[in-house]
Amino acid sequence: HKQARDAWGYGRTENLSMPEIIKEEYRGIRPAAGYPACPAHTEKITLFEMLHATDLAGIELTESMAMTPPSSVSGLYFSHPDSRYFPLGRINRDQSEDYAQRKGWPLEKVEKWLSPNLGYTP
């Protein structure tokens, strides 16, 4: 958190304790793939390709999208003070179909990765 604030030049006056950080009392949001606001673990593939994470940082993704070495972290940083977390609710089949089309994936693959968020039975 501190490194990002220093690099981006925002929240520099924040001197937050660990409990305050856990309660998300900092400016902006930092959603990460696999968490409620961004449940698609597979978006790590896109992020890693864009950032050349494996080549530049030596971080790799396992078959289950876990990062290795295990101490690795990734996410998106939004510094706007009005940024807020929000969970993704249940999605309908038409939304899964649309996502599959945009990803160029079979519907079954999307349903596998987003199964906890499906509002229907595949």
Convert the pLDDT of each residue in 26-42 to its tens digit: 888 889 998 888 999 99
- Mark whether 16 and 27 lie in a shared domain: yes
Q: In sequence order, which residues have a C-beta less than 8 Å from that of residue 21 and are 6 or more positions away?
A: 1
- Mark whether 68 and 95 lie in a shared domain: no
- Mark whether 71 and 43 lie in a shared domain: yes
Q: What would the mean pLDDT of 49-54 be, rounded to a whole number?
A: 95
- Mark whether 54 and 94 lie in a shared domain: no
- What is the domain count for the chain? 2
% of the chain exceeding 70 in pLDDT: 99
Cβ neighbours around 114 below 10 Å, total = 19
- Mark whether 81 and 118 lie in a shared domain: no
- Mark whether 46 and 58 lie in a shared domain: yes
How do 67-68 and 60-61 pair as beta strands? antiparallel
Burial class (CB in 10 A: 0-12, 13-18, 19+), 108: exposed
Q: Which two tokens stand for residue 106?
A: 């079979």
Contact by Cβ (8 Å): 85, 91: no
- Mark whether 106 and 69 lie in a shared domain: no
* Residue 54 lies in domain: 2-88
Note the pLDDT of residue 9: 79
% of the chain exceeding 90 in pLDDT: 60
Task: Inform me whether the pLDDT recorded for 1 exceeds 70.
Answer: no
Beta strands in 58-102 (DSSP E): 60-61, 67-68
Q: Which residue has the higher pLDDT, 1 or 48?
A: 48
User: Among positive and negative, which fits the CA dihedral 85, 37, 75, 97?
Assistant: negative
Per residue in 53-90, pLDDT (tens digit) is 999 999 999 999 999 999 998 988 888 889 998 888 89
